[in-house]
Amino acid sequence: MADQCQRLFFFLKKFYSGRKYTSKDLYDMIPSEFGQVSLRTIQRDLLVLQEMEPALESERKGREIYYYISRDYRSHTMPFNVSASQLLSFYILKAHLKTFEGTMIEEELKSLKSLLERIAPADVFSLENLFWDKNIGNYNYFHHDSILRRVIDAISKKKWVEVSYNTSNKGIINKFVCSLVKLFAYAGSIYTIAYVPHHDSHIALALQMIEEVNELKQDFGSTPPFDFTEWSINRFGVFFGRPENVLIRIKAEYSHYFLNRFWHQSQQFTFESNGDLLLKLRVPLATDFISWILSWGDVMTVIKPVELIKEINLKLNNTLKNYE
């Protein structure tokens, strides 16, 4: 959402300069500013922008549609009509921008901050809360500065690299050729998504487990398109596995907590006659998923599959042994 917000502000600035643009014109500008996105994404952005800014008009010339803001509107303060969820996103973006105060890009952010102030006045989202989620234990990357810099460099410059990866914290180092695609945060850690041509697949690498990142001179060709949503279908968290059909019963008094949250793309909810909630999922029976179930203690009960029930019983019995 933050990426889209930045693109929308970029487009508004272009339109308020007085010029007319097609979606293709804007598409050609985007890579140098924000990285590559699809033309369809730009077209969706323009639809959102028209909802937010009624002054944005369009006209057809031949096969092309040109977007513009008329001179009359440009001479007045920009009106905005945003939904509640968009407004919250703007406030979150405002809080994030404050973390760049005193840095080398503070001056360049002034126009964006000014525009945000007009759309979302005052500070309603806690700046401290951006990095506050202590219940999962955020990893301290102070001693991984050089690795992080190399990873960012490899992603931004689309380099092929050889990664030395500590798979078990037992000194076993695997080396493989890959192209680093994106960074993402999960459960207090930073991960990079890497495309490994040898397996023709995208994998997740924990930043703290990377020992070395060395640039390769050889070109292994272009990497296939990456879609995070599609990639995460076969995952619950970061661990990959063969998806299984899972059915979980959740006690009625806790159902409100689960109903309004997104857990996985496959989730389906139904109610039993006694008010208990049934959650259907198709997910791999991987470490993250089992840990998630165990974290809810007696709130939820796995109904199927049998192999998952056996694994949870084993985990619980081993836990009890620690307290004998």
CATH number for the domain spanning 168: value is: 2.30.30.520
Domain that holds residue 5: 1-81
C-alpha closest to that of 285 among 248, 250, 235, 249:
235
Residue 133: the pLDDT is 59
Residues 185, 207 contacting (CB under 8 angstroms): no
CA distance 97 to 2: 11
Q: Is residue 234 part of a domain?
A: no
Choosing from 204, 226, 248, the residue where a domain stops is 226
Percentage of the chain surpassing pLDDT 70?
90
Percent helix, strand and coil across the chain, each to the nearest 5: 45, 25, 30
CA distance 238 to 187: 10
Handedness of CA 111, 36, 208, 2 (dihedral sign): positive
Indicate if 42 and 114 belong to the same structural domain.
no
Question: What total of structural domains would you count in the chain?
Answer: 4
Q: Is residue 232 part of a domain?
A: no
Q: What is the pLDDT of residues 220-249, one digit of tens each?
A: 888 899 888 888 888 998 888 889 999 999
- Pair of tokens at residue 60: 């057809």
Q: Is residue 233 part of a domain?
A: no
Q: Which amino acid is at 122?
A: A
Write down how long the chain is. 324
Exposure string for 271-289, b = 16+ CB within 10 A, e = fewer: eeeeebbebebebbbbebb
Residues 82, 119 contacting (CB under 8 angstroms): yes
Q: What is the pLDDT of residues 261-285, one digit of tens each?
A: 889 989 999 999 999 999 999 999 9
Residue 233: the pLDDT is 86
Q: What is the pLDDT of residues 34-87, one digit of tens each?
A: 778 888 888 888 888 887 777 788 888 888 899 988 876 665 544 555 666 677
CA distance 60 to 35: 28
Quick check: 251 pLDDT over 80? yes
CATH number for the domain spanning 40: value is: 1.10.10.10
Residue 129: the pLDDT is 64
Residues 6+ apart with CB under 8 A from 266: 233, 243, 280, 281, 282, 283
Choosing from 70, 102, 132, the residue where a domain stops is 132
| DSSP H or E segment with residue 268 | strand 268-271
CATH number for the domain spanning 298: value is: 3.30.70
Q: What is the pLDDT of residues 175-217, one digit of tens each?
A: 999 999 988 888 888 899 999 999 899 999 999 999 999 999 9
Indicate if 190 and 120 belong to the same structural domain.
no
Q: Is residue 231 part of a domain?
A: no
Residue 85: the pLDDT is 67
Calculate the alpha carbon distances from 192 to 115, 155, 278 in Å.
32, 9, 34
Q: Is residue 14 part of a domain?
A: yes
Percentage of the chain surpassing pLDDT 90?
37
Indicate if 94 and 152 belong to the same structural domain.
no
pTM across the whole model: 0.63
